[in-house]
Chain A
């Protein structure tokens, strides 16, 4: 898309900002008008020659939330008809139902129409928690007085998104954290930032962490195997054991794939047959004898001794070294299905 082309923008607002009325008019049904309405004036001023608000879509907050599925259908069809390059919703400031509506409709427009969207909200608006991971939401103050600050940020980020330009970190662009983690060069080196943060924390003053702790994903352990003598056991490792030569080129760190390899008839992994692709530990001992990481030899013994039913003839492997949790989850979700289909009863997962 050429940067010189004037972009088409559709703006979403609620009944209050459209001047239709307050709570008593919250059941206002979706409508579309040509040109700007209400806060669209402030956006139009900052868009200048870069973009034009061709249409404004209006919906009552009550109607939207109480008739969600119908409202979504009506709105998406209106927006699609206006054929925008960018969809802007709000800002909703601290209005809860309005915020949820802005987030919901932005998310839908992105997913269904593939059109860039941007919204604006106060950080405590419930719409933030619901949509901060899916929608760029410019952080605003808690009242409409902040429109003069919010409009330029929303317009600037919206244009970048519509033009598919590189998006900076949340702190640079002014959106609420929750989307991708993006690198940038900060005001001072990290040690100085740490001292500054500690001084604030010691003085009981507000401070902002650079990385809010996520809710940690805890996995419930599976049920115990009742009869190991009949169980099919599979080996899975994040220790990077691969056939010699690493045929699928699994990365030494930050793996983008996993491998599936056959060990039918293999009783022992040797220096000649297997090695590790993992870059997070000294490979010497694993390369000498890969059973140290993927214990095929011991499981074959147990199989012969009748202590386990059998060892599954395929193993799954990747390198855990710096591999993102997202990738790991995707790998496991995929090969777990294969293990289930192969009637594997239990998995020994080795790490390093």
Chain B
């Protein structure tokens, strides 16, 4: 035997000597199960040779003599480097799930993902960097299970709503708490035009290292009375020791609306309104028979009236008769919209000091005319180890943004309301050579009734509205190592937001503003948010099996806001746009408000034998917002996890690599209400005729307190098939009680509502996340990630009230925000009247399904639900050699939208001269016609009252993000003296599959959005589709 071996050695040696190569053989097994592993890649380090293991785990590879090390790599296992000290090896690879060893940020600390007992979603920098969008929330849409992100519309830098595991409140806030590097930040809307601003847009998303979303009560309870809506923890990038890097990136591209609607052209419009004239004339005769000799006379009068109006809207001539002018007004509301972003960042450090510095400039045009957003931001994060016991650092972010905004969706001047204008109206009035509506030659002033409404294009050059923000978010921290196991951390953070809004509306906008000689305003807001966190952390392992981790401390936050407004009108000319020149200063106010939170918190984790984990936490929270009788609340939580795969009885299940079951229960609160809602108040805002006055504005409620949500969560986490497939499944129930409710009270009291703690609602749901590595070999890698979430929201008690001033309602037994109105039954085949199902309750409990043309005779029923049945995201990533492709599909299913503009634009031409959507051509015309569109009857509002006529399917599936990238091979890059170079093309909202009949199904009309009002489309700008081309260079 020994001889044979020697022979072999000799042979090998001689072969090697001959070819300067040698052959190495061996077997690769799974270190946990001992099973052989097939298709493990065996590579030489620094050489070209590679090989794969066979089915029995054996391999052989011929390597150059100079080779010193072999590298074994296999999906789901840690790479292993082995020095070539022999010609035969038995390799045992260690299973690894990178996601399990990942560190996740939790409130006041970090944890290894494997040990997390609550429900925390993590989104990493890679997924969001360089998204061509204004704010990072857009970038996380579809990336995390159970996180519903909805941008209100396609105007840049404006409101985005996020619901984590459903809405927990009816009238208090429903947005999560945002915490950046440990400090809660300002999210208050400071807009004065009725559409929300988004203070989170001040954050440069390329500065973000990770976003952790605390979803369940046990994770969020450490944030106590503000944890009910979930917590979004944002960590910014830090430098790493031993490296010095410069990254420069740039992208540029163009943007378009995701979708457009179809409206009548000039000929269709004229024909249709002539029919509406006849329909209207017939009704005139029915209603006012004494005024006409016969029906024909009424019709003739109506036609004459419509003809006179068509002439008016046709710039005073009769071009409408030949449809000579055919203006596509919708197209004129959109603009070419370039987007560019410039980034540079530096990072590096040594053992003692680490830094990250970045600068960014974003210039984004909105897709709607005169909409633009610019942001300049800079960041410096420094961390320094003073000595062996003290570590200090700071994170500092400065940002400046200029948002050139457009009016809210409900304003005649918002660009998309342009679709109401008649296609027979020319863009340029031939009588003046100026844009239609700008000048009435008879009066020398803007037209007052031509075109049919104010022309929003007049605002493009003659009005301005700019929102300027200066933002400083900074914190300073110190870590004191008190002993080997005990640390103390003190953080002091400030978030200073100062915003100006300045508007000027020129003389030609008079029809819109009602002010003939120019008007303007200036607002100034300053919010200072100061927070200090001071807490201890004790971490130790006893007898190698008892791991204990305890954090506890206090937090104090104070936020003060001061605001001012000045308003003036009557300017010498449009050349003067500052209030100094306003002859009449019409309004001036200053205001201030503040709130404070004082909190104590504690969290303890205990882990036994690396497999049994229990965690408890609690927060004792006091807030100035609550009544004297209920100043402080206590918010405890407990959770446990069991890592089953650590147990010996599981060791034989070879396909199962990791399995954890977990459960949690906790109490969180919601304190997002006004700062002085518990007080009975008089306000001094009741001046009359130049004399000061005061008036009662609020009834007292000293018992007012936070809303309480009790949440439980069961979860299963694991990975199988050599960690190729990872999964997370969660079921949760969140029960909210003591809802902060604006309770309707008899208005004969002089008040309409009182804020009380009444009511309950629940959210129940499941979430599934799957991550799989489908293919992974030397040159090709394909991974897939799927997340799915279904939430059921139900209001169980509202004290019998139905809340909601519009079609959205909050009603017991239903989901928050359901649409309620009459059920539309189409046109009466006999006469074209709009019909409604009566739906009155009969004595036997069923509803009367007969129809009526009397709107009042029918009853409101639930006609739709803006809450989706489920939401999902589906990501596929392909890497082939130096190319990579990443495709994110995002979908929302089972929700309805309400077409708020339908009463005007899809109104059977019976509600004014608004241009109509194409489908209205199918209106009832003669007895026997079966159609859902009632007869066209000008000014008779035939079926335009709120009803299910205007409910639309809001489900959609979107190709949300596609990135195609090319990384220059390292060798070539090096030759160019570059660390790396990447070229890419990226598309956002590339393609949308939907049956929606409005513009874009992702909509929440900005002027009326609230907890209850969701999913309403009212001339809302569609979402932005963008395609950009970018380059990243690393030096």
A-B interaction: no
Chain A residues within 8 Å of B, Cβ to Cβ: none
Question: A-contacting residues of B (Cβ < 8 Å)?
Answer: none
